[in-house]
Structure 1
């Protein structure tokens, strides 16, 4: 489950799609979250309770992460499930004091974004006051690396035409201190038309279509752990919104399926924990309650693709999604020959 623990962010990134509000999870919403999770645990046969802390910037809601985590861990013990947690954070507040406290909450999986070397990163990912963020994030990552703790960090690069060369430079220079530490992996994502959020205009230019694969090849050749390959060639990474037991809860208690569509798409609002409502018709839209075309079922890539990724894309624009997914899978099958470090498997899961 994904919990939007704070509605504001200390960054104002040049591709952000969110509209921020300076509020955290209320005491009422916290209690309702606990009740919602327990109601799911009572009726399901689960092995893992996985919580992903999200925002805004989740570390702005650090006190709520502590309090909710302790209560959720008690529930996990009661229902005999393994408790795991992660956070999607910009990394600016993840200093040497905060990181150990998060570990006590079993937050051991992190996604943190670096958009190239200092100049390019600070242009795309600036603080709310306009200042740069690169130096602080690198310092925090190095502090994490200097511990013996067990954790995993996926460093994401949001790549535009503006910062493409800077990302390549980072791989060849600054990033090399990550190569020998397999707790860190890299993931490349082309900047898309994700929405304006609070921005008035887009100042970034989208990169060419082969950006992700080109950087994956370079990163693999340089010896980095690259997450793109396993993400594309394993069905374990199918869109979380399509999984029947995956939910996102925002700071106002709305139950969502997707962290990108947020409240801006009515189809994404499937319920509210405050009043206890769930719209089962909207849920069906997300969790594979639609018929696949015969050509999908006969396709050799169907176990990896499952008809695409986002249900909205599948239903509204299937042919384009299909062509893109096939191309991606074929490209990453070719890239796999550059690395012998991937052990891929298909999983059957109802989660």
Structure 2
């Protein structure tokens, strides 16, 4: 529903509220680099920031080290750019965190990665699993002739064959992991998608380590937004429902990935740390000034601008389920502040800064 929560949802709301503001839970989204080896046609990132410098890496370590004694759960999500082109940083930080968590037996540590999987060969996956990174989201844009038109490598070549081979190798391994196959749907690939999803079901979804999320490509703020053909409104809903009915009838419930009702950006204890040390809330609106809520210092201190952070949490006071699901939509802004500025200038810091550990 739009607006207030139903009576039946109030208990869940209270539980979610407690978890989202709890000091013993910490969710960090880390961008070890904002460069990428792909140039997907719908991408909203501008690749203007490179790899994490040592001062930011040290800041991440010190932050986690300072918070660890008071934590019950720590979840690290690796994002980018493409995190695997900064594998040395991923491994360095993950090794540090795992050693800390192994000494803190009361802390539940988990980690995930959003990756294009071009570099996720079996050796790399094995090393990452040993460091606690056991959950992956990997995107496919349909069968090869569609995928290779939209998920291009930086050199303009396709990427499907290498990703598919890596997925098959993962499936054939005995590694402990979970993979969410994010399948992108567009008007161009829609006619071929029932057969492709049936192939994914045959090859992967009988393995309990794999699940599927079918998602329509949207206009997410990239330079090609005005020329892209996308599914929208009732047409999108009808197409996605039809794909589930045609390609996934009778599939086990656990094989369908279902996102939660509360976005991570609505949670006070969820922070994104960019490669340059800037702190944000949302991985979609990377360059939006409203998404720049502070900075991480090398000693692990967070300098947060509370007036910029506060609007991201407004769904809890209003009880609006749609705002909790995506606080970026309708985000209150200062006079003259542009909306959803994915591609553009970096924000300038003001004086409204609080330092917190």
TM range (shorter): 0.7 to 0.9
DSSP-derived class of the 1:258 partner: coil
Secondary structure (helix, strand or coil) at the match of 1:20 reads: coil
2:170 equivalent to 1:154: no
Residues 275-294 of structure 1 mapped to structure 2, 5 A cutoff: 276-288=302-314, 291-292=317-318
Partner residue in 1 for 2:291: 268
Q: What TM-score results when the alignment is normalised by the length of structure 2?
A: 0.77
Q: Deviations over 1:23-42 (max 9, x none)?
A: 21111101101122234445
Q: Deviations over 1:38-59 (max 9, x none)?
A: 34445x5x32211111110000
CA distance in 1, matches of 2:191, 2:292: 39
The change in CA–CA distance for 1:279 and 1:40 in structure 2 (over 3 A counts) is farther
State the shift of 1:184 in Å: 0.7
1:67 aligns with one of 84, 92, 98: 92
Q: Which residue of 2 aligns with 1:313?
A: 329
- Go from structure 1 to structure 2 and tell me whether the alpha carbon gap of 1:103 and 1:16 turns closer, same or farther (over 3 Å shift): same
Aligned-residue offset at 1:21: 3.6
| CA RMSD in angstroms, aligned pairs only | 2.3
> Residues 184-203 of structure 1 correspond to what in structure 2 (within 5 A)?
184-197=210-223, 199=224, 202-203=227-228
Contact 2:138 2:179 in 1 (8 A): yes
Identify the match of residue 273 of structure 2 among 238, 241, 249. Answer: 249
Aligned residue for 1:185, secondary structure, equals strand
Contact 1:2 1:249 in 2 (8 A): yes
Residues 1-351 of structure 1 correspond to what in structure 2 (within 5 A)? 1-21=28-48, 23-42=50-69, 44=70, 46-79=71-104, 80-173=106-199, 175-197=201-223, 199=224, 202-206=227-231, 208-210=235-237, 211-221=239-249, 223=251, 230-231=258-259, 236-262=260-286, 264-274=287-297, 276-288=302-314, 291-292=317-318, 305=321, 307-314=323-330
Q: More helix by proportion, 1 or 2?
A: 1
CA deviation string 1:275-328 (max 9, x = no partner): 7411122222112366427xx5xxxxxxxx465511132556xxxxxxxxxxxx
CA contact (8 A) 1:7 1:55 kept: yes
Aligned pair in 2 of structure 1 residues 15, 182: CA closer, same or farther (>3 Å)?
same
Match of 1:24, SS state, is: coil
Q: How far apart are residue 14 of structure 1 and its match?
A: 1.2
Q: Which runs of 5+ in 2 are unaligned?
A: 1-27, 333-357
Q: Give the secondary structure class of the aligned counterpart of 2:229.
A: coil
2 CA distance for matches of 1:21 and 1:105? 29
The answer to whether the Cα contact below 8 Å between 2:266 and 2:315 also exists between their aligned partners in 1 is no
Cα deviation for residue 223 of structure 1 reads 3.0
Deviations 1:169-228 (A, max 9, x none): 20233652113111111101111110115x585333335222332223334316366766
Corresponding pairs, count = 298
Partner SS state of residue 65, structure 1: helix
How far apart are the structure 1 equivalents of 2:110 and 2:240? 29
Structure 1: 5+ residue stretches without partners: 297-304, 317-351
Normalising by structure 1, we get a TM-score of 0.78
The one of the two structures with greater contact order (alpha-carbon pairs below 8 A, sep at least 6) is 2
Q: Provide, for residues 258-277 of structure 1, a one-character-per-residue CA deviation record: whole Å limited to 9, x for no partner.
A: 10011x21121111003741
Secondary structure at the counterpart of residue 162 of structure 1: coil
